């Protein structure tokens, strides 16, 4: 017949936080040993995968280990995975490139608008000059006055 075992703590229910392990002592008795819950580990804040290189501990135990064990030597190390950081850097670069392209397009659009305005102004000046020249050309002296012989009245 097996030995009866009792919980060593006052928590009497078989819940996930009250798991036990049966261990044989050097004296030959069987006793319960309390087990701690297994941690799921730190996850990436963006894609929610478990971060490699960081131990799976209970939250209180993270306070007992050094900073170098809780992080990875990288920007956002210990908070984001490498793939998400790569995407962030690439997205930031592309956003900056897009800003530069927009700025260049605005400058070129302004330059073409200015060139078009200058060309339009030059065309307008040519038209007015042509009209002035046409008006001057139509004011010829009267042919009757020029052809008529001068008569001396004596």
pLDDT per residue as tens digits for the range 41-51: 999 999 999 99
Phi and psi for 43 in degrees, rounded to 5?
-115, 155
Mean pLDDT of 103-119: 89
Per-residue model confidence as pLDDT tens digits over 50-96: 999 999 999 999 999 999 999 999 999 999 999 999 999 999 999 99
Residues 50, 41: Cα–Cα separation, whole Å:
6
């Amino acid at each position: 017949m097996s030995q009866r075992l009792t919980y060593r703590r006052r928590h009497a229910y078989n819940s996930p936080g009250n798991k036990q392990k049966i261990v044989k002592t050097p004296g030959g008795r069987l006793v319960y040993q309390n087990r701690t819950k297994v941690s799921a580990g730190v996850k990436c804040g963006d894609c929610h995968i478990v971060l490699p290189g960081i131990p799976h501990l209970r939250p209180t135990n993270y306070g007992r280990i050094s900073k170098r064990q809780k992080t990875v030597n990288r920007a956002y190390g210990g908070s984001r995975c490498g793939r998400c950081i790569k995407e962030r850097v690439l997205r930031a670069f592309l956003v900056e490139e897009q800003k530069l392209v927009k700025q260049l397009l605005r400058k070129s659009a302004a330059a073409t608008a200015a060139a078009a305005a200058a060309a339009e102004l030059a065309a307008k000046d040519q038209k007015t000059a042509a009209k002035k020249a046409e008006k001057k050309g139509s004011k010829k002296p009267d042919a009757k006055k020029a052809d008529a012989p001068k008569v001396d009245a004596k």
